[in-house]
Copies of this chain bind each other. A is one copy, B any other.
């Protein structure tokens, strides 16, 4: 076993098919500008200019007729600019790098989809990588991306007060934060404080204010801000959240369970639970059931992000919808502006409360 296991389950059906087609096709003739220039007996410069900007080149650098023929030829023979060569010359790679804590996290995966979508529209490519929220990884992965000569970076894994980002900014690296904010760096976030307030207002409305918070990591602004919004809004109504009911564990189902277990292990129970993440909320449900508590009758439950699963589970989850996809798109836009040299301001998008069964309690008071 520990061996180098050569074949493991090497399906020996290899000999199958494949016999036809010797080696054929695509030897090694990538059509380059030179190929084209030779074809027409002109210089590569002309080809380059025409291919880069047919409009301007037409008449200025080549006769309209030639322009047309060059483009047709390129198209026909599948010419594709070699981005490495271009990048070498222009020192622009049309590549942007993205760091996320973890793609397994639905929220970050969605934000990345937004980034990728927007990038593709503008004909630039993007790289993602997982940092697992580990500072060492953030540094190492960022280095790797910079080595790859990305034009800019988007961080979805910013830690509050991280000197790392300050250093990067000082180095003149272009970057934008998404989802989480940090320091004064440009960021695109959902208004998390407002999100917390929405939750507070809803809890006040249904009269469930003995709330426990599955807050998530304390280095994430999302965690801190959502919690703060909730706590401060309740404070306005003279209600205090028990400090020992604010738990900081992971953002996933396991983290939610972990936090919930600590809370419900004590004698008295909250009559509401707010998780800063839908998955954490789902993880908490099991714990409550084990304690014979039902949602929402005994404990009202609120999640965050309005993940698709939130609406599909047995007791649909009340949650705060955040524009994840949009945050990704915006982040890319801001980054591009920044790269272009513009001054950009941070963006804060609006959250929206989605009420579902998990907080539909009877005996709801009106004020």
**Residue A279 at the chain B interface, CB threshold 8 Å:** yes
- Cβ distance A171 to chain B, nearest Cβ, rounded Å: 4
Distance of A285 Cα from B343 Cα, bound (Å):
50
Asked if A24 and B170 sit within 8 Å, CB to CB, the answer is: yes
Q: A257 and B82 in contact (CB under 8 A), knowing A25-B171, A106-B104?
A: no
Interface 1/0s, chain A 292-312, versus B by CB < 8 A?
A: 000000000000000011001
Cβ of A116: which chain B residues have Cβ within 8 Å of it? 129-130
Cβ of A2: which chain B residues have Cβ within 8 Å of it? none
**Residue A39 at the chain B interface, CB threshold 8 Å:** no
**Residue A77 at the chain B interface, CB threshold 8 Å:** no
Most buried by B among A17, A109, A127, A183: A109
Asked if A110 and B104 sit within 8 Å, CB to CB, the answer is: yes
**Residue A112 at the chain B interface, CB threshold 8 Å:** yes
- Cβ distance A214 to chain B, nearest Cβ, rounded Å: 13
**Residue A35 at the chain B interface, CB threshold 8 Å:** no
**Residue A37 at the chain B interface, CB threshold 8 Å:** no
Asked if A347 and B24 sit within 8 Å, CB to CB, the answer is: no
Interface 1/0s, chain A 250-264, versus B by CB < 8 A?
A: 001110110000000
A312 CB contact (under 8 Å) in B103, B104, B286, B349: B286
**Residue A144 at the chain B interface, CB threshold 8 Å:** yes
- Cβ distance A314 to chain B, nearest Cβ, rounded Å: 5
Asked if B7 and A345 sit within 8 Å, CB to CB, the answer is: yes
**Residue A83 at the chain B interface, CB threshold 8 Å:** yes
Q: A286 and B309 in contact (CB under 8 A), knowing A26-B171, A80-B147?
A: no
**Interface window among A44-52, A84-92, A226-234, A235-243:** A84-92
Distance of A349 Cα from B81 Cα, bound (Å):
40
Interface residues on A, range: 35 or more
A127 CB contact (under 8 Å) in B112, B120, B127: B127
Cβ of A12: which chain B residues have Cβ within 8 Å of it? 345
- Cβ distance A22 to chain B, nearest Cβ, rounded Å: 11
Distance of A170 Cα from B25 Cα, bound (Å):
6
Asked if A88 and B84 sit within 8 Å, CB to CB, the answer is: yes
Asked if B81 and A308 sit within 8 Å, CB to CB, the answer is: no
Asked if B312 and A314 sit within 8 Å, CB to CB, the answer is: no
Q: A308 and B253 in contact (CB under 8 A), knowing A109-B103, A314-B286?
A: yes
**Residue A265 at the chain B interface, CB threshold 8 Å:** no
Distance of A215 Cα from B112 Cα, bound (Å):
28
**Residue A65 at the chain B interface, CB threshold 8 Å:** no
**Residue A320 at the chain B interface, CB threshold 8 Å:** no
- What residue of chain B has the Cβ atom nearest to residue A23's Cβ? B172
Interface 1/0s, chain A 159-172, versus B by CB < 8 A?
A: 00000000000111
A308 CB contact (under 8 Å) in B27, B125, B128, B254: B254
Asked if B345 and A149 sit within 8 Å, CB to CB, the answer is: no
A144 CB contact (under 8 Å) in B125, B316, B348, B349: B125
Could you jot down 16 A-B contacts, CB within 8 Å?
A: A9-B191, A14-B346, A16-B184, A21-B170, A24-B170, A27-B172, A83-B147, A84-B84, A84-B149, A102-B113, A104-B109, A256-B312, A279-B309, A286-B314, A313-B313, A314-B314
6 nearest CB pairs, A to B: A253-B312, A84-B84, A26-B171, A10-B345, A26-B172, A103-B109
Q: Apart from A80-B147, A286-B312, what are 10 other A-B pairs with CB-CB below 8 Å?
A: A23-B172, A25-B172, A82-B88, A83-B84, A84-B84, A102-B113, A125-B144, A125-B148, A128-B128, A286-B316
